[in-house]
Amino acid sequence: MQIERAAADFLDYQDAIAGYAETTINAYRRDMQGLVSWLSRRGVTSAENITAKLLRDRIAALCRSPKKRSSAGRAVSVYRSFARFLHAAGVIPRNLAPAIDPPARKHEQLASRVLSQEQVAAILDGCDTSTPIGLRDRALLELAYATGLRVSELVGLDLVQVGGHTIRVIGKGNKERIVPVGATANDALQGYLEQGRPELATETTGPAVFVTYRGNRLSRKRAWDIVKDAARAVGIVQDVFPHTFRHSCATHLLENGMDLRAIQEVLGHADVSTTEVYTHVNRKRLMRIHGEFHPRA
């Protein structure tokens, strides 16, 4: 079977069976297009000739490229799924997924993207809540940190999903989960819904919780800009993205004693092994703090 045909069948399967969001399917498509092109340049055109080493080499190439390094972690998941698909379809004789390794030192990369509790507090307290836009931005940031929601989940929230100090989230694969909202974030959200959103909404505004000054649903890109601008405004020079708040939420929950399984439920991870990376981050941060403060460290 030609690799192009195998990749197309795999994407059709993911779209029809797995129930992933459109953004996830688009990301899978980009990863598969990159893989097909990469294999073609190496003379591999038949899916039967795909090996675990080839897939590992492709991941290693992504890790070496500054522009593509962030895609390497997702590529591992995509290539493992592709390998399982090829095996189930009888294209290759054995499942290559277990032999496809993730990029090295993932927990160290993650640790560099976690904000301290003081940095998060500075960002949240730095919001100007004297305007409807400011109320919206504060609510968005408070909710991102309080719940660890993905940016697609944040901007996709509808009014019927919030209330009673909880949020009903429709996550990856259309899986539903209930996420608690702390008092501070809930106050910020209610303040925006009562005083900010009515000023931004128009007659054509739909059920979206977070809307633009024109009354349209907030986009993922605009949410990214809000987070980055809020961090810069308080002098944080490192890159800060919506996912930084998700990582920081999980790390701080773990630092303060929350059970790993409970954090898995909050984040919506299908497998606890995905959540376990935060135990490495927590251990690394604990060692750093111990080294700074212990007199004989």
Where among 44, 78, 102 does a domain terminate? Answer: 102
For the chain, the average pLDDT equals 84
- For residue 266, the one-letter residue type is V
Q: Is residue 66 located within the same domain as residue 172?
A: no
Q: Is residue 177 located within the same domain as residue 244?
A: yes
Q: Is residue 136 located within the same domain as residue 281?
A: yes
pLDDT band at 290 (very low <50, low <70, confident <90, very high): very low
Kindly compute the dihedral angle of the four CA atoms of residues 114, 118, 119, 122, in this order, to the nearest 10 degrees. Answer: 150
Q: What 3-state class would DSSP assign to 130? A: coil
- For residue 99, what is the DSSP state? G
Distance CA 267, CA 250 (A): 8
Answer yes or no: is 108 within a domain: no
Number of residues in the chain: 297
Look at residue 26 in the predicted model and tell me its pLDDT: 87
Tokens representing 92 are 């290759």
Q: Is residue 35 located within the same domain as residue 127?
A: no
294 is annotated as an active-site residue: no
Look at residue 112 in the predicted model and tell me its pLDDT: 47
Calculate Rg over the CA atoms of the chain. Answer: 21
pLDDT digit string, tens, across residues 31-84: 999 999 999 999 999 999 999 899 988 988 888 776 665 677 788 889 999 999
Look at residue 24 in the predicted model and tell me its pLDDT: 80
Residue 259 confidence (pLDDT) above 50: yes
138 is annotated as an active-site residue: no
Answer yes or no: is 148 within a domain: yes
Catalytic residue among 29, 217, 228, 269: 269
Distances (CA, A) of 186 to 140, 169, 257, 285: 11, 15, 22, 29
Answer yes or no: is 269 within a domain: yes
Look at residue 68 in the predicted model and tell me its pLDDT: 63
Distance CA 81, CA 183 (A): 40
**Helix H or strand E segment including 170:** strand 166-170
Query: 211 or 297: which carries more pLDDT confidence?
Result: 211
- For residue 149, the one-letter residue type is L
Where among 74, 102, 130 does a domain terminate? Answer: 102
pLDDT digit string, tens, across residues 194-246: 999 999 999 999 999 999 999 999 999 999 999 999 999 999 888 888 888 98
Domain range for 124: 117-293
Q: Is residue 121 located within the same domain as residue 42?
A: no
246 is annotated as an active-site residue: yes
Q: Is residue 93 located within the same domain as residue 162?
A: no
Find the CATH number of the domain harbouring 45. Answer: 1.10.150.130
Burial environment of residue 23 by CB neighbours within 10 A (0 to 12, 13 to 18, 19 or more): middle
Q: Is residue 124 located within the same domain as residue 151?
A: yes
Q: Is residue 19 located within the same domain as residue 63?
A: yes
Look at residue 111 in the predicted model and tell me its pLDDT: 47
296 is annotated as an active-site residue: no
What is the pairing mode between strands 162-163 and 166-170? antiparallel
How many distinct structural domains can be found in the chain?
A: 2
269 is annotated as an active-site residue: yes
Catalytic residue among 136, 138, 150, 247: 150
Q: Is residue 72 located within the same domain as residue 130?
A: no
Catalytic residue among 29, 107, 168, 172: 172
Q: Is residue 96 located within the same domain as residue 122?
A: no
Q: Is residue 128 located within the same domain as residue 59?
A: no
Find the CATH number of the domain harbouring 128. Answer: 1.10.443.10
232 is annotated as an active-site residue: no
Distance CA 48, CA 93 (A): 9
pLDDT digit string, tens, across residues 122-159: 999 999 999 999 999 999 999 999 998 989 899 999 99
Q: Is residue 66 located within the same domain as residue 208?
A: no
